[in-house]
Structure 1
Amino acid sequence: MKQETDLKMMEILRILKSEDKVLGAKYISNELRKRGYSLGERAVRYHMRILDEKGFTEKIGHKGRIITQEGIKELNNGLIFDQVDFSYSRFQEKMYNISLDISTAKGLIIANISSINQLDAKDTIESVFEHGLAVSKNISYTKEDDVDFIKTVCGTTIDGVFQKNGIISRPSYGGLVKVEDYAPVEFVEQIAYKKTSITPLEAFSGKGNTSILDVISSGDGIIPANFRTIPMTKQDQAKKILANLNKIGIGGLIKMGQPGESVLGINVPEGMVGVSIIGGITPLCAAQEDGYDLNIKLADEFVNYESMSSLEYNVKPILSNANKEAKNVSFVLEKIFNLMSQVTFDYNTFEGDIITNISYVDKQNLDEALEIINKLYKDYPQYFMGDKYALVDDNDGKVGIATICSLTVDGILTNNGIVSIPIYSGVLDIDNRQPRFIELISYTGSSVDPHEIFLKKDMCDIATGNGSDKILASVHSVPYVARDDALDIFDTIGDAGFNFLDIGKPNEYIYNSKIDMYHFGYATAGGLNPIEKVKESDVCVDVKSIEKIMDFKYFETF
């Protein structure tokens, strides 16, 4: 019941934020009804009084309530299970509200918004447009509260135009495409739009992920892109729409396949056509590559297309149509299942192979790195998956620090006839309140361990000393009928140094992460937390997750 109440209050906050004005109980009640919540005015007022007490809303006389900054923060970080489902729904809602009229080049489009500290980045950004590595020729520069913003057309605008014209367009993945000799080859990283709290392209928008400027200069590199499928019966109509969009300065098509044909390594179902569009954030990522500081937000607001400025733009990217052989996209869960199947750790003898993360530091930095890790373990042992580590020699002047990967537990349970599946990887916020996930990415549909994404985007703060830490953690699911046997194993491997953040009851949420019916969940700290602390301490480290199988006997206690 509490979770249902929380959902209603989150929806009230969402309504207040979207309207951005004082709203009364009657208006909110009507909006809730449209969204599937039957809540009368009296019940709305009751819920809003609770929100007032929490500081998430403020009563403005007899007119109603407004959302506070704390309320906006709660909306962004609160019920993460709601945010995971809402992320995909938000895209569908934005697609529906697009009103762009191709014949007049007027109407609402979806825009990506980025704050920028140095406006001289415009030269880099606009050079990307000149080479057609953008969704549209239109761009907007604005200034608010002494902060400069850049708005670019989001690729989801094309999905919305398809939808307005009766074409079912299903965004499936966002990720990174490898380009060789100006020809797009294959997706090398991708995340599914469903079951993630962070939009896929935003996950890959951090520094070091793309090499767009290299594509422009040499024809080889990595660019952001997204992928959707449409029915094959609508392929000809889709081609005509894309051609008409070209006429008003909207392009960005990387590749459209044939029915049932894989596109850039992504398999396409029978009767469907795969379509890849360049990411609308591509010009902004190029500016990051060039050393400029941007804060990129995807699909953030609606903008009238006709109000934007036009740049020199090639609707056909410099990318060629050459068909290069692409490897089928592999997903991290496939790698995980194979590693889990190699775990031989015996929970009775504490002997056997486990899954490890191995991160490399220069030999001269090893003592400093270990000192940082040992201090962290002394002060915050709960941030560790286990109390052990191992050193691995490398021939390149580096030493590998191996830590226990939480997937080892899934492997141990599996070897004992208990199905244990890792379902989410996330960032766990630990402050004076109950710990809760503020970001989650499903292992399903991801080609990369989500923890690596969170580390690259600097989303963690470990052992800050201010009572508010953000650590890596993961959520695993087990059928509830096996709970008693699983608990016995958990107790035993605890003596071997394995740690658990939380073990839930059947159908109980784990730190705001939703568990399937007839299952229970358990949460573990990320094995990379000590490595992240080394990284935060300005020691250069090459982070590698779920790297290899190692014998437990080589590990020593911190």
Structure 2
Amino acid sequence: MSESEHRMIEILRILAKQENPIGSKLIADELKEKGFNLGERAVRYHMQILDEKGYTEKKGYSGRVITNLGREKLEKGLIYDQVDFIYSKFEEMIYLTDFTYMSQKGNVVVNTSTIYNEESINIMKEIFESGLCVSPYVHLNEDKTTGKIEVTTLCGTTIDGILLNEGIASQPQYGGLLKIENYQPVKFTEIISYKKTSVSPLDAFSNSNLTSVLDVITKGSGIIPANFRLIPSIARERTIEIINKLDKIGIGGVIGISEEGKDLLGLPVPDGMVGIAIIGGMTPFCAIKELGEKIDIKIAEEIRDFKTLSPITTTIKSPLNTQTVEKQSKLPFLLSKSWNLIQQVNFDVEKQKGNIITNVSYLNKENLDEALEIMENTYNDNPKYINPYYTLVKHPEDENKIGIATICSLSIDGILINNGIMSNPKYSGLLELTEPPLFIDMISYNGTTVDPHKIFLSKNMTSITGDGPNKILASVKEIPYISRDYAVHLLEILNTIGFSIYKIGKPRELVYNSKVDNYNFGVITGGGLNSIGAIKEKGIDIEVKAIEKLIPFEKMERL
């Protein structure tokens, strides 16, 4: 992205936060705070370009507003910028937190979500009373006309901001899912790094199929959202002192604090550092989702004065034993697990035989014929983007279920490596089939324990069979430029065979809006779960699995 493009995106971000038109002076002032030294004249020049593109609109002498087209551009136009922006947004929220626990005054970071009936308020109050929250301090704003209720709650990022104000560098690392057994935290089961993702990690896991907050409340065991951060070990005692003081005024949620360099809940802690786990501020909202209630969740969206919040309840239990289980096995990252499968791919391009990596998803046998028909129709409707290969696999335990194995795109990395070409899986994403196609969300393979495509499917973000621009699963691979000629030759053969190769990029080229490192080129491949996503979209219950096992290609059937 050029410097000029970067400036214009920042201008759009500033306008997107405003309810009323603002002028070039205010924009220039905000840009300066973000490190862009632009005068009013330069801002007016950039604004003129944005007007011409239809991203902004002038409102008389009042200034400019962002248009719907501008918001669309901001959301999905520069996805390679968004994967860096998520982390920088949290850094910005941390810096803007100026809450002082001694005076209980100042700004805090909040999550603002929308619920659609008053009964959810009563449910939410019970959840806060259970203690599975960062704080009982909330703000309710009911729209009498629509019946919608905005619920603002304290975000755990506030604690990072408080620590920073005390001179303690708290570094957010991961958001994920934490397993609880008998009211005791056991280990993280899935995580996503805050860096190199366009989807906020906890937002990625805010799905009723992934959490079981209510089970923790009622039975003592289940899965809750949680965050993990690091602080310098020398600040450990001071941090514990601050956390204890925060807890007394109603700001808590700390699940565990490690010793120096000691793993915490299955996550590694480097020497000289200390790990801290904190309940996700969205946990009460996840519980409402689990009850089937409609709710729109936004995470760490804004800064709010603490005095605008008040306790929703004064009765807070302490449900968890914060003495965490020690010596848990380390949580393996997706890429580490994947490399061992990639290494075993031995598909022969000329003979079209050999092992490939497959995804295996399970459904009831009674739904198999309908599922295969959906897969076939989806392929026929869009053969360029849907992989036609599959095979059936027995369920390891349930004879009433059967698995559908589809080709995983990591097979392509294995095939290239087996032919002497280094291929690095870089991003897994959601590709919108506009002209040209554009990635609208991406999560890096390096820094997640769960296949991002499973996340997109669990949150119903795809539109593989719907009307309008389709949103399908795709991946970005990074290959050294020196091997480009031979790689292109092999990729073209694989595409002819039926492997989903969407686009082969050039050095320093943005390929479908994705970016790879210098001296490399990008390759966009189709997700092996697209046909499975089509089945899910049609309402058939199917257990989505990714990167499951090796299967000989010659055993695959073609739709």
Please report the TM-score for the alignment, with normalisation by the length of structure 1.
0.96
Question: 1:367 offset after TM fit, Å?
Answer: 1.3
Letter in 1 for 2:137: N
2:135 is the alignment partner of 1:132: no
2:428 is the alignment partner of 1:425: yes
How far, CA to CA, are the matches of 1:54 and 1:538 in structure 2?
A: 40
Q: Structure 1, residues 139-188: CA drift from partner, whole Å, max 9, x if none? A: 11112463211111100000000001100000000001111111100000
How far, CA to CA, are the matches of 1:490 and 1:90 in structure 2?
A: 38
Q: Structure 1, residues 385-405: CA drift from partner, whole Å, max 9, x if none? A: x33221223352122211111
Gaps of 5+ in 2: none
Aligned to 1:441: 443
Alignment of 1:36-435 (within 5 A): 36-144=35-143, 146=146, 147-310=148-311, 311-314=313-316, 316-321=318-323, 323-384=325-386, 386-394=387-395, 395-431=398-434, 433-435=435-437
How far, CA to CA, are the matches of 1:287 and 1:417 in structure 2?
A: 51
Kept after mapping to 2: 8 A contact 1:112/1:298: yes
Question: 1:528 offset after TM fit, Å?
Answer: 0.6
Question: 1:317 offset after TM fit, Å?
Answer: 4.3
Question: 1:495 offset after TM fit, Å?
Answer: 2.7
- Choose 165-174 or 363-372, whichever is displaced more: 363-372
How far, CA to CA, are the matches of 2:252 and 2:42 in structure 1?
A: 48
How far, CA to CA, are the matches of 1:531 and 1:551 in structure 2?
A: 20
Letter in 2 for 1:377: Y
How far, CA to CA, are the matches of 1:217 and 1:28 in structure 2?
A: 50
How far, CA to CA, are the matches of 1:487 and 1:37 in structure 2?
A: 40
Question: 1:123 offset after TM fit, Å?
Answer: 2.6
Question: 1:63 offset after TM fit, Å?
Answer: 3.8
Q: How many equivalent pairs are there?
A: 554
Q: Structure 1, residues 248-283: CA drift from partner, whole Å, max 9, x if none? A: 111111000100010001010000000000111111
What's the secondary structure of 1:356's corresponding residue?
strand
Aligned to 1:484: 485
How far, CA to CA, are the matches of 1:127 and 1:405 in structure 2?
A: 43
What's the secondary structure of 1:93's corresponding residue?
helix
How far, CA to CA, are the matches of 2:29 and 2:117 in structure 1?
A: 44
Q: Structure 1, residues 174-207: CA drift from partner, whole Å, max 9, x if none? A: 0011111111000001100001111111110111
What's the secondary structure of 1:338's corresponding residue?
helix
- Choose 259-268 or 43-52, whichever is displaced more: 43-52
Letter in 1 for 2:339: F
Aligned to 2:457: 455
Kept after mapping to 2: 8 A contact 1:427/1:437: yes
- Choose 449-458 or 135-144, whichever is displaced more: 135-144
Aligned to 1:555: 556
Kept after mapping to 2: 8 A contact 1:251/1:315: no
Q: Structure 1, residues 110-156: CA drift from partner, whole Å, max 9, x if none? A: 11111111221223222222222110121111124632111111000
How far, CA to CA, are the matches of 2:317 and 2:229 in structure 1?
A: 20
Kept after mapping to 2: 8 A contact 1:246/1:315: no
Kept after mapping to 1: 8 A contact 2:173/2:229: yes
RMSD over aligned CA atoms reads 1.7
Question: 1:26 offset after TM fit, Å?
Answer: 4.0
Question: 1:40 offset after TM fit, Å?
Answer: 4.8
How far, CA to CA, are the matches of 2:257 and 2:322 in structure 1?
A: 13
Alignment of 1:468-507 (within 5 A): 468-507=469-508
Kept after mapping to 2: 8 A contact 1:253/1:316: no
Letter in 2 for 1:274: G
CA pair 149-63 structure 1, distance change in 2 beyond 3 A: closer
CA pair 127-62 structure 1, distance change in 2 beyond 3 A: closer
What's the secondary structure of 2:240's corresponding residue?
helix
Letter in 2 for 1:400: G
How far, CA to CA, are the matches of 2:67 and 2:496 in structure 1?
A: 47
CA pair 202-316 structure 1, distance change in 2 beyond 3 A: same
Question: 1:32 offset after TM fit, Å?
Answer: 3.2
Letter in 2 for 1:188: T
Question: 1:37 offset after TM fit, Å?
Answer: 3.8
Kept after mapping to 2: 8 A contact 1:226/1:277: yes
Kept after mapping to 1: 8 A contact 2:266/2:330: yes
How far, CA to CA, are the matches of 2:500 and 2:191 in structure 1?
A: 31
Kept after mapping to 1: 8 A contact 2:362/2:543: yes
Aligned to 2:17: 18
What percentage of aligned pairs have identical amino acids?
Answer: 47
Question: 1:52 offset after TM fit, Å?
Answer: 1.9
How far, CA to CA, are the matches of 1:501 and 1:4 in structure 2?
A: 29
Kept after mapping to 2: 8 A contact 1:249/1:315: no
CA pair 391-272 structure 1, distance change in 2 beyond 3 A: same
How far, CA to CA, are the matches of 1:380 and 1:47 in structure 2?
A: 40
Aligned to 1:537: 538
Kept after mapping to 1: 8 A contact 2:256/2:322: no
What's the secondary structure of 1:383's corresponding residue?
coil
How far, CA to CA, are the matches of 1:14 and 1:523 in structure 2?
A: 28
How far, CA to CA, are the matches of 1:216 and 1:538 in structure 2?
A: 30
Kept after mapping to 2: 8 A contact 1:250/1:315: no
How far, CA to CA, are the matches of 1:400 and 1:272 in structure 2?
A: 44
Please report the TM-score for the alignment, with normalisation by the length of structure 2.
0.96
Q: Structure 1, residues 483-526: CA drift from partner, whole Å, max 9, x if none? A: 11111111222232112111110121121112111110011111
What's the secondary structure of 1:141's corresponding residue?
strand
How far, CA to CA, are the matches of 1:540 and 1:171 in structure 2?
A: 36
How far, CA to CA, are the matches of 1:485 and 1:240 in structure 2?
A: 60
Kept after mapping to 2: 8 A contact 1:252/1:315: no
- Choose 324-333 or 253-262, whichever is displaced more: 324-333
CA pair 23-544 structure 1, distance change in 2 beyond 3 A: same
How far, CA to CA, are the matches of 2:440 and 2:364 in structure 1?
A: 33
How far, CA to CA, are the matches of 2:206 and 2:380 in structure 1?
A: 35
CA pair 324-233 structure 1, distance change in 2 beyond 3 A: closer
How far, CA to CA, are the matches of 1:122 and 1:79 in structure 2?
A: 38
How far, CA to CA, are the matches of 1:472 and 1:377 in structure 2?
A: 14
Letter in 1 for 2:366: Q
Letter in 1 for 2:203: E
Gaps of 5+ in 1: none
Question: Which aligned runs of 4 or more in structure 1 are off by greater than 6 angstroms?
Answer: none
